[in-house]
Structures are given as C-alpha cells and as structure tokens.
C-alpha cells in the first residue's frame, strides 16, 4: 500500500492520531502515584472537591456535592485551578514517510517504553507533588486549616479534635508495637459528624515506607508469627486490617527530596489525595524545515489533598 502521508497533509493526518496516543497512554498507564491517589477527570481549569460525613466524595465532573436526603455533615472543600503541563513529541521525517497509514503510528507508539518516555515529564510532575504530601506533611496545610499530619484536626460542628499523627513530636521508629498503636489510633478516628469512621472496616490499609525501611516493613506485614520474636503467637496486624503488602517508594528517600529515610505511614489508597486531570483541546503542531513533525500537547493537572483520614503519619526518628 502506498504511503498516504505527504508533506502537505502530514499534520492533518497525524494530529488526531497523536491525540489518541496521548489519551490511550493516560487511560492504561499505571504510574506509581496511581497506587496512592485517585485520578479524576475534568474539562475545566478549576474544580471543587468536597468531603461529606468524613468520607471523600469527588464528582467526576467536579461539581459541588450537595447533601442528600440523609443530610450528612458537609465537610471542607478544596477549590483548585489546575496547572498547565506541556509536552512535545517529534516524529522525524524518516519515520512518518515510511509508515503506510497514519494509524500505524498508534501501533508504533503503543510500546509502553516509548510512550512512557514521551509522557514521563507529566508522571514525574504528579509523582513529585504526591510524594511531597508525604515528606512534608508536617508543614503543609490541609483543607481543615491544620497540617496534613496533625494531632489537632478539628471536627466542623464541635470543639473536639482528632489526630492522624502517632505520638506527635516523638520518634516512633517502625516496629510491630508502634504499628499496632497506629492501627488503634485509626480505630479511634471519628468521621465529620463525630461518629466512628470505621476506616479499617471499610477501606484497605497499606503501609508506605522508603527503601531504607523496606525489609523491616516486609517482616512486619508478612510474618506469620509475631515479627522479630520467637513467639508462636500469630501476627495479628493483618487481622487488624493492615495489608500484607507494604508499598515502597524511592521518592520518599532523602536522596529524592524526602524528609528522612525512616518516617513511615499507613494510608488508605485513593482516599486522601486526588489528581485532577484534563486534556487541553487546543494542541498545536507544525512541520520544521527538515520536514520533521512536531506535536505539542497540553494538559491541566493538579494534586489535591482532600481528606486527612486516609493519611496516618509516624516520625521515625
């Protein structure tokens, strides 16, 4: 089959395909942040996400969530204006001239290694933003006007407070007894209306550590017996709701702007953090003097800390 692309029509034929490649990548790619944060899409540059009755509720269209017939307690809202992130893809003349149809580029770029390289800047931007919420949780202010990790999270309609910071101000290195204390603290957590949040009964809890704590975390989570002892008693932590699979993230290491190597967290995936993502329809392309095709895509993205009840912190040193 003869090549249907020429210098006169290459932009018209490639533009929709490049947009499709981008959409396909965002639909199937599973970057590290997607294990922690919930991705939601929007077609707007600004959005609002609300909490209701201690549980996060985010509209896929980012519209304000009104209380339903049961009149749940309305929580705090986060309004954001997304940041624009751009990327450029170059299809060299030697490449586009030797494909039979523009659709063949979908297969050519379908290799995950190729698309990951193309769009890695977007994933890195989001990864860094999500990691910072963990490494700087003691200094970043959340929607309830206190730090993400705080012993004084307020309840909207009372003077009571609750804590997601194990022994605030004191070192609690990663060990079985402190993990048990953290799970107990989680069980004591109220929802926004002051009722038991029952997080461990409703969501999977997962430990998050830097590589420095990986081996210890695996022993604590995966031991059949009590971790670090010859005691024949069972390891009760998984029965208390903790996943046997700890999550290890190199971006929490101090070498990658982490706070230190020994802090640790228990978190509920896709509860506390939302990644709001949209594709800007106003992309552009051009052909340079060497007949290379350039495609510049733009998206708007933001990372929002919505709900502190999905985020539990221990200062490891």
Q: Do 72 and 107 belong together in one domain?
A: yes
Q: Do 175 and 215 belong together in one domain?
A: yes
How much is the average pLDDT of 4-28? 76
How much is the average pLDDT of 96-105? 70
Higher-pLDDT residue of 298 and 145 is 145
- For the record, the structure tokens of 157 come out as 């309609």
Residue 224: its pLDDT value, please? 81
CA torsion angle for 167, 214, 136, 184 (degrees, to 10)? -30
The tally of domains found in the chain comes to 2
Q: Are 311 and 206 in contact (CB under 8 A)?
A: no
47 CB-near residues (< 8 Å, 6+ apart): 62, 79, 80, 82, 276, 302
Q: Do 267 and 294 belong together in one domain?
A: no
Q: Are 147 and 140 in contact (CB under 8 A)?
A: yes
Q: Do 169 and 130 belong together in one domain?
A: no
CA torsion angle for 79, 83, 84, 86 (degrees, to 10)? -140
Q: Per the domain annotation, does 140 fall within a domain?
A: no
Q: Do 124 and 68 belong together in one domain?
A: yes
Higher-pLDDT residue of 288 and 233 is 288
- Confidence class of residue 102 from pLDDT cuts 50, 70 and 90? low
Residue 60: its pLDDT value, please? 34
Q: Do 123 and 46 belong together in one domain?
A: yes
The model's pTM is 0.77
Give per-residue pLDDT as tens, 133-183.
999 999 998 888 899 999 999 987 778 899 999 988 889 999 999 999 999
Q: Do 191 and 294 belong together in one domain?
A: no
Q: Per the domain annotation, does 144 fall within a domain?
A: no
Given a cut of 80, whether residue 54 has pLDDT beyond it is: no
Give per-residue pLDDT as tens, 236-250.
898 899 999 999 999
CA dist., res. 129 & res. 58, Å (int): 19
Q: Per the domain annotation, does 182 fall within a domain?
A: yes
290 CB-near residues (< 8 Å, 6+ apart): 93
CB neighbours of residue 10 within 10 Å: 21
Q: Per the domain annotation, does 2 fall within a domain?
A: no
Given a cut of 80, whether residue 213 has pLDDT beyond it is: yes
Q: Per the domain annotation, does 286 fall within a domain?
A: yes
How much is the average pLDDT of 20-29? 69
In order of 95, 99, 174, 213, 283, the CA distances from 22 in angstroms are 18, 19, 41, 36, 11
Query: Whole domain around residue 98: which residue ranges?
Result: 10-135+273-302
Given a cut of 50, whether residue 59 has pLDDT beyond it is: no
Among the ranges given (32-41, 67-76, 164-173, 292-301), the one the predictor scored with the smallest mean pLDDT: 67-76
Q: Do 128 and 79 belong together in one domain?
A: yes
Given a cut of 50, whether residue 194 has pLDDT beyond it is: yes
SS3 275: strand
Residue 100: its pLDDT value, please? 64
Q: Do 157 and 257 belong together in one domain?
A: yes
Given a cut of 60, whether residue 45 has pLDDT beyond it is: no
Residue 72: its pLDDT value, please? 46
Q: Do 256 and 231 belong together in one domain?
A: yes
């Amino acid at each position: 089959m003869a090549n249907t692309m020429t210098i006169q029509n290459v932009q018209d034929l490639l533009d929709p395909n490049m947009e499709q490649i981008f959409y396909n990548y965002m639909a199937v790619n599973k970057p590290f942040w997607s294990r922690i944060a919930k991705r939601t899409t929007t077609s707007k540059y600004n959005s609002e996400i609300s909490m209701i009755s201690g549980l996060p509720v985010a509209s896929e269209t980012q519209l304000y969530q009104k209380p339903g017939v049961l009149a749940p307690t309305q929580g705090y809202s986060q309004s954001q204006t997304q940041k624009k992130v751009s990327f450029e893809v170059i299809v060299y003349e030697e490449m586009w001239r030797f494909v039979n149809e523009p659709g063949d580029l979908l297969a050519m770029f379908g290799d995950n290694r190729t698309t990951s390289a193309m769009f890695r800047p977007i994933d890195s931007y989001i990864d860094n933003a999500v990691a910072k919420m963990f490494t700087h949780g003691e200094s970043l202010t959340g929607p309830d006007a206190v730090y993400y990790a705080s012993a004084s999270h307020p309840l909207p309609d009372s003077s009571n407070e609750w804590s997601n910071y194990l022994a605030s101000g004191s070192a609690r290195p990663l060990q079985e007894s402190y993990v048990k204390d953290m799970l107990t603290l989680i069980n004591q957590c109220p929802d926004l209306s002051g009722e038991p949040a029952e997080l461990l009964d409703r969501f999977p809890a997962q430990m998050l550590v830097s590589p420095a704590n990986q081996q210890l975390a695996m022993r604590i989570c995966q031991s059949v017996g009590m971790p670090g002892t010859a005691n024949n008693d069972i390891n009760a932590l998984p029965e208390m709701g903790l996943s046997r699979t700890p999550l290890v993230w190199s971006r929490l290491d101090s070498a990658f702007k982490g706070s230190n190597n020994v802090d640790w967290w228990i978190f509920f995936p896709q509860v506390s953090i939302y990644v709001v993502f949209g594709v800007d329809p106003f992309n552009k392309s051009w052909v340079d003097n060497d007949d290379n095709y350039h495609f510049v895509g733009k998206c708007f993205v933001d990372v929002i800390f919505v709900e502190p009840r999905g985020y539990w912190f221990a200062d490891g040193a």
